[in-house]
Amino acid sequence: MGDNDILVVVSKVKSYIRAKAGMNTSGAVAGVLSNLVKELCDKAIENAKNDRRKTVKDRDFS
């Protein structure tokens, strides 16, 4: 996986924002959200490693 890969479904994000607030969504949002998701996943991976597990669980995101 590359650093520039998008990890969110952009159409779903745009639909959510339009339904919730009636607003449009900039094209740059996808990259920002993907970076946030990557950071959360990296932290969760570290939490799983610290517990000596090879499975990332929901609790690792807390």
> CA-to-CA distance for 57 and 24, rounded, in angstroms?
33
Q: Where are the domains of the chain?
A: 10-61
DSSP state of 58: G
φ, ψ dihedrals at 22, nearest 5°: 70, 25
Q: What is the pLDDT of residues 4-23, one digit of tens each?
A: 899 999 999 999 999 999 99
Q: What is the pLDDT of residues 27-52, one digit of tens each?
A: 999 999 999 999 999 999 999 999 99
Q: Which residue type does 33 have?
A: L
